[in-house]
Amino acid sequence: MTESKQNRSAPITPPRYRRLRILLDPSLSLDVATAAVNRATAEVPWENLAPGPKGEYVEVIDHDPASGCFYQPVDLSDPLLLAQDGHIPSAGNPQFHQQMVYAVSMMTIRSFERALGRVALWKGQKLDEAGQYINDPEVAYVPRLRIFPHALREANAYYSPDKQALLFGYFSAPADIFGNQSGGTVFTCQSFDIIAHETTHALLDGLHPRFGEATNEDMLAFHEAFADVVALLQHFTFPDFLRQQIGRTRGDIASDNRLAQLAREFGESIGNYGALRDAIGKVDVRTGKWERLNPDPKLLADTHEPHARGAILVAAVFDAFLAIYQARTEDLLRLATRGTGVLEPGAIPPDLVNRLSAEAAKSARHVLNICIRALDYCPPVDLTFGDYLRAAITADFDAFPEDRLGYRVALVQAFLKRGIFPRDVHNRADVDGLRWQPPTWELDDELVPTFKELSDGWDLNSDRRSVFTTAWKHRAKLHVVLDRFISSEAASYQAELRQNLGLMADQKFEIHSARPARRRGPDGEFLMDLVLEIVQTVMLDPETLEPLPRNAEGMKFRGGCTLLIDMRTGKIRYCIRKSISNRNRRREQATFLTEAGATLAALYLGPQTETFAKLHRGGC
Amino acid sequence: MAGQPLSPGERVGIRLYCHGLGDCFLLAFPRPGQDRPFRMLIDCGVVLGTPDAKTLMTAVAEDLHAACEGHLDVLVATHEHWDHLSGFNDARAVFETIEIGEIWLAWTEDPKDEQAQALRERKSRAKSLVQRALERRPVVGVQSIMEFFGARSGEGSTSAALEWLKKHPAPKRYLEPDQQIGDLIPGVRVVVLGPPRDEKLLKKSNPSKGDVFELSPRSLNALSTALDALEDANLEDDGQPFDTYYRISEAEAKDRAEFQDYLAQPPRRRIDTDWLSGSDELALQLDSDTNNTSLALAFHLAPKGEYLLFPGDAQVGNWRSWHSLEAVRIQEILAGTVFYKVGHHGSHNATLGEDGLGLMTHPELTAFVPIDEIRAKAKGWSRTMPWPGLLRELTKRTQPGNLLLADQAASERSGFSRGPDHGERPLYVEYRR
């Protein structure tokens, strides 16, 4: 009898995380107080990696065309690197740069996925090499976002929707007047914030491809703001950095602190007096001193440039976060001060620093989750900041019907103070009134089974390729069914349904997205909604704003709705509508496009596909 | 005007050539006691890519030769763009036979002016950088912008046309904003509105709020250093971000397994030339900077306080600067404007809104747009040239028949009289007052 030489060691489960060293911002290393905390270690979900790194979601390609060369792709599976958490931070080592863009983009992707409870997908490819529409999901599927850490030789970094890629630039910086900056090369791929920001653009575009279309003043601003919010709130996931900043500010993170600042090195090297953007204050150019900026509800109306406008939304979200943090730590401060809540002068005790840091991290995580989850509750096109507030309030209500700590009140207050409020809601005092309201109409019973059939297992463990192809097939199937209900002019029911869905007759429509969203039921059980986005695109006569025949040239105008359908009952819970027939919206878009389209670039270069390239030039 | 003098009582006659997308205008002012009116030519060009442009421009030049009886009292060249100057190259032989009394140019063309020299130097650096970038990264729109400077170099270039004028034996005047010339044309005072000396305004091209985007000199340097090194292997590229130890040249990468996947991708998904996209901005900037150096003139017609407005292709900044002129009040000039040569073929940014067209309130305002929509479409500019919003506004402000687009010259407009046909439409129309 032969005994097989079986391995008798205990089974080994793969690690949950791969630890990789990164930098938070190169400027932190120039300050003795922060140098030590700048070197953070990111915990990235474990996956098998090929050199690049090339994994499931991203692929780093280090082509530097301005220098006419490539750099050797890092192999993070090398045991020597595995054992020491990757390369040591070094500006002069391209492999460290590759490691860092990989680590930060994966952290960001993970935050996104956790909040939504499902794997993230990149935007599919629409056209093939010959410029034809792709009809096969296997061909359209884009498995990996490409990351080029040294693609550009300028002060710019951007997400390219066409290439499904992030392009980072490097440039030589002037020695800064405050002496913070030594000159030398600045790498945008060495800033946690810039990487997180650009990755978020790609994630958002994957979920909402129409949000990159500037149909109103808020659209591009929202893209920027959302990317900044995700970058900012992730600052609170780095314990050493967080504790150091909490200690330095004695827990008052509404004062001048690095947690609220974005891309300081980049900001200083392009001539800003301080961070690229700061959620709570700014440095006064004359005095060189930082000061808190108080919310001004009138500012929004006079702010048009997308980054500046987006900054107002970021500030509102950050204010909400601060209010939540304060609410969560009031008791701690009373405990630490014998009930007075007033801290003694001097440093605060380490235990208090730890507890405050834990609360700050938790608050940040919660606010980030609210912000990301809101994306499932947004209209498919033509989003405004006000719509986003309604989406966030509704999403949070669905996840946590009881608002014990007043998160939603904090959000509404903060948005109101910055002049952000939905125009279609009148009572500003009523937080619950901001929620999207359930529809007063019902779907034809015939449609209900179709929706119920679509439940699938799209969650955090799904295979991304099959999720993409399944969703594609679901959309195709739904289109056939809905087409019968929507397109024909016949019965009055159909006209009514079209109106309810914000659509019109005799124009094509698309099922733009079909995806699951999880929420909590009244008894704490998990329920699932199907999120359906239905979009119609028509060409309008620029003068009369009436639809032109299909394929005519005119002003492109989109409308439709996002439906949240309860998968148990097949009933519509919310219908978030941007009606294609809305005259006001048509007029507003025409006015907006007349102003925005009046550029030399539009004249000579035509419609621009690299929306984010120019938007970010000299200012990411 | 060709041998046909102005009728008694007429104070001006303008022959507006409708030859294509380009400017060419022959003005005639009566000279009391003389048969021959005072004649002035403003620009003579057509956009690059116009079929058979040489023949076309020769026809235009021959017609104006006849019309001016071989003598121009003044020749005005507004700015260095092909669609305004190509005739001085393509129909050089005809122009050689025309006597020219004086040549007027903007101060920006003055070879002795220091500010102008610096501007020109910046412009020529930018031009060469954009051209070099274009070779690696062809972009149709950018190409079309560069075509305003004519062929790349030599005889066919716009600067060659301008050089010919500058070297012409006729005396030159380099005009300054606020300058007025009242003693030359009987009954007419010429007011120089622009180009401004203020460089901020000189660069402002867009009506939108917010500042003008500009590639910093630092970024320009970075681009040109990189191009230098790529073009000449012997040059050291001090913009390289890493020690040469790390370099794997593109040639070497072709033989390495780890880069094969990427290199096999179609160029559309690669990033070979994206780093040069900043040169698009530079080209746009170059175009609007040049347009903004347009010599903008207003002609005051005695005695009624009426004006003719010829702004060249002046863009927003140039227009804005008129509001700070000291010798004249621009509100008065615009309110008195009876004829407006629409700037930059009717683009969105070459007619100021509220503070420009908005002030042109004369009930008899007549406007002419030197546009050829088919040409503009062929260039890929269809949707915004002419700018629909501007056309709407012009239509509102003019009586029926007083607005004419050059490519619609075949249809009657009461404010204009038609010249002889040349192909599908008349070679010119005339405006008289």
Structure tokens at A434: 């901001």
Q: Does B211 score more than 50 pLDDT?
A: no
pLDDT tens, residue by residue, A507-518: 888 998 888 888
Tell me the pLDDT of chain A averaged across its residues. 88
- Tell me if A82 sits within 8 A of A44, measured CB to CB: no
pLDDT tens, residue by residue, B98-111: 999 999 999 999 99
pLDDT at site A355: 95
Smallest Cβ distance to A604: which of B210, B277, B284? B284
Q: Does A177 score more than 60 pLDDT?
A: no
- Tell me if A241 sits within 8 A of A213, measured CB to CB: no
Q: What is the 3-state secondary structure (H, E, C) of A427-490?
A: CCCCCHHHCCCCCCCCCCCCCHHHHHHCCCCCCCCCCHHHHHHHHHHHHHHHHHHHHHHHCCCC
- Tell me if B359 sits within 8 A of B385, measured CB to CB: no
Of A517, A502, A516, A454, nearest in space to A480 by CA: A454
Who's near B178: CB < 8 A, 6+ residues apart? B192, B325, B326, B327, B328
Mean pLDDT of A108-115: 95
Among A147-156, A418-427, B374-383, name the most confident range.
Answer: A147-156
Q: Do the strands A145-152 and A58-60 form a parallel or antiparallel pair, or are they unpaired?
A: parallel
Q: Picking from A290-294, B145-149, B236-240, B378-382, which range would have the lowest pLDDT averaged per residue? A: B378-382
Q: Does B3 score more than 70 pLDDT?
A: no
> Which residues in chain A are contacts of B271 at CB distance < 8 A?
63, 65, 148, 151, 163, 165, 167
**Nearest residue on chain B to A163, judged by CA atoms?**
B269
Smallest Cβ distance to A598: which of B208, B246, B253? B208
**Nearest residue on chain A to B282, judged by CA atoms?**
A601
Confirm or reject contact between B237 and chain A (CB < 8 A). Answer: yes
pLDDT tens, residue by residue, A301-358: 988 888 889 999 999 999 999 999 999 999 999 999 988 988 888 889 999 999 999 9
Interface of B with A in 50-69 (CB under 8 A): none
pLDDT at site A596: 67
Q: Decide which of A404 and B379 is more confident.
A: A404
pLDDT at site A93: 96
Mean pLDDT of B372-390: 78
pLDDT tens, residue by residue, A346-382: 889 999 999 999 999 999 999 999 999 999 999 999 9
d(CA A171, CA A154): 5
Of A138, A130, A170, nearest in space to A153 by CA: A170
The residue among B223, B275, B381 with the most chain A CBs within 10 A of its CB, best to mutate, is B275
Q: What is the 3-state secondary structure (H, E, C) of chain B?
A: CCCCCCCCCCCCEEEEECCCCCCEEEEEECCCCCCCCEEEEEEECCCCCCCCHHHHHHHHHHHHHHHCCCEEEEEECCCCCHHHHCHHHHCHHHHHCCEEEEEEEEHHHCCCCHHHHHHHHHHHHHHHHHHHHHHHCCCHHHHHHHHHHECCCHHHEHHHHHHHHHHCCCCEEEECCCCEEEEEECCEEEEEEECCCCHHHHHCCCCCCCCCCCCCHHHHHHHHHHHHHHHCCCCCCCCCCCCHHHCEEHHHHCCCHHHHHHHCCCHHHCCCCHHHCHHHHHHHHHHHHHHHCCCEEEEEECCCCEEEEECCCCCHHHHHHHHHCCCCCHHHHHHCEEEEECHHHHCCCCCCCCCCHHHCCCCCCEEEECCCHHHHHHCCCHHHCCCHHHHHHHHHHCCCCCEEEHHHCCCCCCCCEECCEECCEECEEEEEC
Tell me the pLDDT of chain B averaged across its residues. 89
> Which residues in chain A are contacts of B389 at CB distance < 8 A?
594, 598
d(CA B410, CA B231): 52
Reduced to 3 states, what is the DSSP secondary structure of residue A570? Answer: coil
> Which residues in chain A are contacts of B207 at CB distance < 8 A?
598
> Which residues in chain A are contacts of B317 at CB distance < 8 A?
none
pLDDT at site B209: 44
Q: Does A560 score more than 60 pLDDT?
A: yes
pLDDT tens, residue by residue, B268-305: 889 999 999 888 888 888 888 899 999 999 999 988 88
pLDDT tens, residue by residue, A263-298: 877 777 776 666 778 888 888 878 878 888 888 989
Smallest Cβ distance to A68: which of B250, B288, B381? B250
- Other C-beta atoms lying within 10 Å of the C-beta of residue A450: 16
pLDDT tens, residue by residue, A41-79: 999 999 999 999 999 999 999 999 999 999 999 999 999
d(CA B205, CA B314): 9
- Other C-beta atoms lying within 10 Å of the C-beta of residue A141: 19
Confirm or reject contact between A311 and chain B (CB < 8 A). Answer: no
pLDDT at site A606: 67
Q: Does B22 score more than 70 pLDDT?
A: yes
- Tell me if B306 sits within 8 A of B361, measured CB to CB: no
Q: Decide which of A446 and B311 is more confident.
A: B311
Confirm or reject contact between A130 and chain B (CB < 8 A). Answer: no
Q: What whole-number percentage of chain A has pLDDT above 90?
A: 53
Interface of A with B in 167-226 (CB under 8 A): 167, 169-172, 174, 185, 187
Q: What whole-number percentage of chain B has pLDDT above 90?
A: 59
d(CA A340, CA A317): 29
pLDDT tens, residue by residue, A471-486: 998 898 888 888 877 7
pLDDT tens, residue by residue, B74-95: 999 999 999 999 999 999 999 9
pLDDT at site B397: 93
Who's near A9: CB < 8 A, 6+ residues apart? none
Q: Where does the pLDDT of residue A172 fall: very low under 50, low under 70, confident under 90, or very high at 90 and above? A: confident
A603 and B274 in contact by Cβ < 8 A?
no
pLDDT tens, residue by residue, A488-546: 655 666 788 888 899 988 788 899 888 888 887 777 788 888 999 999 999 998 888 99
pLDDT at site A247: 92
Of A479, A443, A395, A453, nearest in space to A571 by CA: A443
pLDDT at site B205: 74
Q: Decide which of B291 and A29 is more confident.
A: B291
Mean pLDDT of A211-227: 92
Output the CA–CA distances (angstroms, integers) from residue B37 to B7, B75, B185, in the order listed.
11, 15, 10
pLDDT tens, residue by residue, A234-250: 999 999 999 999 999 99
Q: Picking from A430-439, A478-487, A604-613, which range would have the lowest pLDDT averaged per residue? A: A604-613
Any idea what DSSP says for residue A510? E
pLDDT tens, residue by residue, B27-46: 999 998 888 999 999 999 99
Mean pLDDT of B338-357: 91
pLDDT at site B212: 41
Q: Does B151 score more than 70 pLDDT?
A: no
pLDDT tens, residue by residue, B52-73: 999 999 999 999 999 999 999 9
d(CA B42, CA B68): 13
**Nearest residue on chain A to B262, judged by CA atoms?**
A61
Q: Where does the pLDDT of residue A88 fall: very low under 50, low under 70, confident under 90, or very high at 90 and above? A: very high
pLDDT at site A211: 93
d(CA A507, CA A213): 21
pLDDT at site A278: 84
pLDDT at site A229: 95
For residues A20, A26, A32, A35, the Cα torsion angle rounded to the nearest 10 degrees is -10
Q: Does A178 score more than 50 pLDDT?
A: no
B145 and A604 in contact by Cβ < 8 A?
yes
pLDDT at site A273: 62
d(CA B406, CA B20): 7
